[in-house]
Chain A
Amino acid sequence: QQQVKQSPQSLIVQKGGISIINCAYENTAFDYFPWYQQFPGKGPALLIAIRPDVSEKKEGRFTISFNKSAKQFSLHIMDSQPGDSATYFCAATFGNQFYFGTGTSLTVIP
């Protein structure tokens, strides 16, 4: 059973555009929602994270929007750049349990 559902599976965006990746969860015990960025052949690296008592968090060009009532959260990448081309994973955690989405492959074309 997939604890965190992520969409889309792949995304192609023009340079300068906005990339949006969505995730949904069911377990209300989750208390931390990180996003990881993974380049080919590398391990995932923490990008940005949010707690459920906050509706939005912004770090540079990356923003997480969090809708607690809908049990959904999304990553927005503003002014997308070719260097952002990677696979992005959302995750939901409680305690020591981390559950990852299936990933979104983002391609930013020049």
Chain B
Amino acid sequence: DTGVSQNPRHKITKRGQNVTFRCDPISEHNRLYWYRQTLGQGPEFLTYFQNEAQLEKSRLLSDRFSAERPKGSFSTLEIQRTEQGDSAMYLCASSLSGRNTIYFGEGSWLTVV
């Protein structure tokens, strides 16, 4: 069990640039979640996939954000035209259908300068 893997772990980008994060969930998990966490706050839900279908998106997920899970395995989260307010840790988590427990990756830190 390799756990949830995220990369890159850290990304510094200039405002206005696009960034993409990748998440590889635990292999048998069919559910995948993206969360955002800022300092001093708990994780905030962004979006959720069951297999390749994106079933839910938070209002936090502006039109500059897009997430995909093309084959129901890994997922990508792209942020276009980054803004300083996008600076945060982006967490990916996965779980099995019917199970309450979600398992987080170590997160991808984004700093927009």
B65: interface (CB < 8 Å): no
Contacting pair B42 A49 (CB below 8 A): no
Q: How far is the CA of A44 from the CA of B40 in the complex (A)?
A: 13
User: B43 on the interface (CB 8 Å rule)?
Assistant: yes
- Which of under 10, 10 to 19, 20 to 34, or 35 or more describes the interface residues of A? 20 to 34
B55 touches A100 (CB 8 A): no
Q: CA–CA, A31 to B100, complex, Å?
A: 9
| B-contact 0/1 string along A81-110, CB 8 Å cutoff | 000000001010100111111110000000
B interface, size bucket: 20 to 34
Chain B 52-93 residues near chain A, CB threshold 8 A: 55-56, 91, 93
Say which residue of B4, B43, B56, B105 sits within 8 Å of A89 (CB atoms). B43
Contact of B43 among A32, A96, A100 (CB under 8 A): A100
Find A98's partner among B6, B55, B102, B107 (CB 8 Å cutoff).
Answer: B102
Q: Is the CB of A103 within 8 A of B31?
A: no
* A89 and B91 contact, Cβ closer than 8 Å, known pairs A44-B104, A46-B103, A98-B102: no
Residues of B within 8 A of A102 (CB): 40-42
How far does the Cβ of B64 sit from chain A's closest Cβ, in whole Å?
A: 23
Closest to B108 in A: A43
Provide the residues of chain A in CB contact with B44, threshold 8 Å. 100
Let me know if A43 and B100 touch, CB within 8 A.
Answer: no
Are A43 and B101 also in contact (CB < 8 A) when A101-B42, A103-B40, A103-B41 are? no
Please report B residues at the A interface, Cβ cutoff 8 Å.
Answer: 4, 6, 31, 33, 40-45, 48, 55-56, 91, 93, 100-107
Interface residues of A (CB under 8 A from B): 4, 6, 31-32, 34, 36, 41-46, 49, 89, 91, 93, 96-103
- 21 A-B residue pairs with CB within 8 Å: A34-B100, A34-B101, A36-B104, A41-B106, A42-B106, A43-B4, A43-B93, A44-B43, A44-B91, A45-B104, A46-B103, A49-B101, A89-B42, A91-B42, A93-B100, A96-B31, A98-B102, A100-B43, A102-B40, A102-B42, A103-B40
